[in-house]
């Protein structure tokens, strides 16, 4: 029998043992598209610049890296935003993650009609 568990906590301090997770799947708030109740202007996605947003995401995903096993995988659903043109947030996110030591496998396009 396989036992699964779901944990709830801050993305900066996951209540999970180091090296114990096989997979992390997440959809962080998109940049400047929504304010969540109780966050005010402080929550992830409300940063003044895309660069600040990416730095906050990187801090969260460093914690994911801590809890993932060496053979673990991370799936991130991240959206883009237009400001005269696409801001290329998914590309820029992939770049900062690779620069932080992650291995990038591929983009999976979620085409919603």
Please give the Cα distance from 2 to 103 (Å, whole number): 28
Residue with tokens 């929504």: 34
Please give the model's pTM, rounded to 2 decimal places: 0.84
| pLDDT surpassing 80 at residue 33 | yes
Summarize pLDDT for 35-51 with one digit per residue, the tens: 776 666 678 899 999 99
Give me the pLDDT at residue 38, please.
63
Angle at 29 between CA 91 and CA 95, to 5 degrees: 20
């Amino acid at each position: 029998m396989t036992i699964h568990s779901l944990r709830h906590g801050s993305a900066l301090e996951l209540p999970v043992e180091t090296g114990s997770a096989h997979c992390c799947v997440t959809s962080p708030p998109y940049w400047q598209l929504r304010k969540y109740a109780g966050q005010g202007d402080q929550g992830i996605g409300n940063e003044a610049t895309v660069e600040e947003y990416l730095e906050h995401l990187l801090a969260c995903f460093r914690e994911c890296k801590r809890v993932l096993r060496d053979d673990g995988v991370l799936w991130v659903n991240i959206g883009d935003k237009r400001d005269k043109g696409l801001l290329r947030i998914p590309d820029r996110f992939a770049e900062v993650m690779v620069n932080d030591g992650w291995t990038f496998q591929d983009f999976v396009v979620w085409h919603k009609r």
